[in-house]
Amino acid sequence: MTDIDHLRTHLLAATEAAASLDALEVVRVEALGKQGRVTHLLKTLGAMTPDERLANGPAIHALREAVTAAVTARKAHLEQVALDAQLASEALDMTLPVDAPPRGTIHPVSQVMDEMAEIFADLGFAVATGPEIEDDWHNFSALNIPETHPARAMQDTFYLAGDHEPPMVLRTHTSPVQIRTMMTQEPPIRIIAPGRVYRSDWDATHTPMFHQIEGLVIDRGITMGHLKWTLETFLKAYFERDDIVLRLRPSYFPFTEPSAEVDVGWTTVDGKRRLGGDEGWMELLGSGMVHPKVIAACGLDPDEWQGFAFGVGVDRLAMLKYGMDDLRPFFEGDVRWLRHYGFSALDVPTLSGGVGVQ
């Protein structure tokens, strides 16, 4: 307990002393990052006895809440100070004539979703959508995710406040769209489910809200071979390269069996990694054969119907194709970033004209 008190004093003092947002981010990562000191303490709870957990758990959780609140308050203060300084130093003469009307751009996420819809439409897939606020059954239970699975924990999932039965969450993936489709549509089924999803995470490659697209095929006689061909065909069309090479590695997802992580090959060109070839491998998406329990939960006979599913982050695909190295600017609304990476409204992706025109 003494060590926890000392750590609390140190982190709160470091937070208060942070003179810039960059300095504050260093403190946040030190405390709450994946390798942070508070995060490490939280991980030790699993190895404690019930009595030790009862004695130490409240103090460790209180430490996390105190540091989180202090970082949030300090960030708001520093942002306000920066804004006040900016307002004091900048001036805009509203009487000046406008040289040209402002031009809007298509956000890269919207562009990539259109590109993917165009490619999958050519493969016979329809676009399906569903609610972003989901119940626990559609988001977890129907997908064979047990109640003890870490994804259900409060630190990973945004639960809605109030007494809801079943519990309501901001969907953590677009898989509930697959469940709703299988329950309302007769097979055969070929859909993609793009949309916003929510998880409690924030760093250069993760945000609390991001975009995902999942695919589902349900039919008779479906095999892993159909899955690999579909993904290979899609990625070759999306990256507009014929030398895309895939590697499927055995993995585990509760809703697929067997499951596979899909890696895409890369080579080094002028000192930089470029997709294509097989000099090295980059993990890109998850996939697998739909678990028989999931098929049965949707009222279908798994002995008659089989299928495959896959999921990939739309934002990650945009970063790989168009050269962004940080996910956070996607959601900051900086017009300079949008002018640089955005697309003209007339650049409609087509298979004949090119899905990646910019």
Query: Longest C-alpha distance within the chain, in Å?
Result: 73
- Amino acid (1-letter code) at residue 38: V
Q: Which residues contact 23 (CB under 8 A, 6 or more apart)?
A: none
Give the pLDDT of residue 353: 59
From first to last of its 358 residues, what are the pLDDT tens digits of the chain?
568 888 889 999 999 999 999 999 999 999 988 888 888 888 888 888 888 888 888 888 898 899 999 999 999 999 999 999 888 888 777 776 767 666 788 899 999 999 999 999 999 999 999 999 999 899 999 999 888 777 766 557 888 887 877 789 999 999 999 999 999 999 999 999 999 999 887 666 677 888 999 999 999 999 999 999 999 999 999 999 899 999 999 999 999 999 999 999 999 888 888 888 888 999 999 999 999 999 999 999 999 999 999 999 999 999 999 888 888 888 888 888 988 888 887 777 766 556 665 4
Tokens coding 270: 């002028």
Give the pLDDT of residue 72: 93
| Phi and psi, residue 329, nearest 5° | -60, -20
- How many Å apart are CA 358 and CA 355, to the nearest integer? 9
- The counts of H helices and E strands in the chain are 11, 10
- How many Å apart are CA 7 and CA 70, to the nearest integer? 14
Whether 203 and 287 have beta carbons less than 8 Å apart is answered as no
